[in-house]
Amino acid sequence: MILHDLISLELLRVIWWGLMGFLLIAFAATDGFDMGTAALLPFVAKTDLERRVVINTVGPVWEGNQVWFILGGALIFAAWPALYAISFSMFYFAMFLVLAALILRPVAFKYRSKREDPRWRARWDWALFIGGAAPALLFGVAVGNVLLGVPFHLTPDLMAVPDVGALMRFVGLLHPFALLCGLVSLAMLVMHGAGWIVLKTEGAVQARARRFGERAALIAVAGYLLAGLWMWLGVTGYHYAVPPPHDAPSNPLLYPVVRAGSWLHAYAERPWIWIAPVLGVLGALISWAALRAGRELLPMVGSKLSIFGVISSVGLVMFPVILPSSTDPKSSLTVWNASGSHLSLFVMLVAACIFLPLIILYTAWVYRVLWGKVTPEAVADPKTHSY
């Protein structure tokens, strides 16, 4: 028996769907507090020294945190090639804005303190704000548009064809439901960033972060519940009319998907997935209560729990659909029809089993080494080489 035949194609598809979700959650839980911290920078820090303190809470770790974003893109490219091709082409302008913001952030980190001119530093502070707030918002907008469906169809030879022009695709991103999802994402990551600032700073900066974090947590909960109600009342779901074989070839046109009912019918079919939205709401409320109570570590625990629940809830209610088509539902991509080959999924799984634990161990070691408060005295000391 060939080694890769020991694991079925069906199981490999589920494993890689789970790994895709894991990397998205890992990115939001790590680089998410970087983005939230940058989005809060103009509001929690009033003096140049306070801003330097906030910047230096994430300065040593932001590059490592973005590894999860790179790994996620590589995973989609290798394990779900059709998803990579169609999503990046359909969301091209939005992806460009996200990448531009993510590029702007490291430039701001490097150049902000090169000159002592207050106007120079203020401009880079706002660049950091954009580099944090814009991706946090746009990632949520993208998720909202995926839930609504993306306008494309597949030709008989499986070429993806957009059903609207580039301008209309961008305008379509601004659907009110998608913007609400963007607001939830932004509020959730601001809450997460506030928890990080509370953990890493002291004094006035910490107190301001608590106030903004409390508000962000309540906005995240309210927005998430409103989005759930909107999905129940006004967002049509997708599902297979006839259950397909889970080891079928990767051809969406063989077993078409239909558009009917609600995404939330998944909770009736698989009641155990209720744990995801419960954790999403409970985690945000824990973070809110911990911020009000003056706790330092618990707000981060709550926000990470909320991130896990919110992102998991989207993946679980959509399963097995991963990219629905709003104009031609039978072209929709699912876990069962859009993966790479059996051999490629197996080889990548072996590589993931070797390297993913090493990345996790190294990341944990880095955070252990850098554990502790960032103080104004340390930042002001030229020997620390801080930002």
For 113, the enclosing helix (H) or strand (E) is none
Residue 106: strand, helix, or coil: helix
The full DSSP string for 317-362 is: HHTTEEE-BSS-GGG-EETTTS---HHHHHHHHHHHHHHHHHHHHH
Q: At what angle are helices 342-369 and 9-44 packed, to 10 degrees?
A: 30
Taking CA 185 as the corner, what is the angle to CA 183 and CA 187, rounded to the nearest 5 degrees? 65
Q: Write down the pLDDT at residue 385.
A: 67
Nearest-angstrom CA–CA distance, 135 and 190:
12
Q: Which residue has the tokens 């999905």?
A: 231
Strand 321-323 to 333-334 pairing: antiparallel
Other beta carbons within 10 angstroms of residue 155's beta carbon come to 10
Other beta carbons within 10 angstroms of residue 289's beta carbon come to 15
Please report, to the nearest 10 degrees, the dihedral formed by the alpha carbons of residues 250, 254, 260, 265 taken in order.
-50
Helix, strand, coil distribution of the chain in percent, nearest 5: 75, 5, 20
One-letter amino acid at 105 equals R
CB 201 within 8 A of CB 316: no
Residues in the chain predicted with pLDDT less than 50, given as ranges, are: 1
pLDDT digits (tens, 9 = 90+) for 51-64: 999 999 998 888 88
Residue 150 pairs in a beta bridge with 325
Q: Write down the pLDDT at residue 1.
A: 47
pTM of the model: 0.93
Q: Write down the pLDDT at residue 217.
A: 97
Nearest-angstrom CA–CA distance, 307 and 374:
25
At 337, give phi and psi (nearest 5°). -130, 5
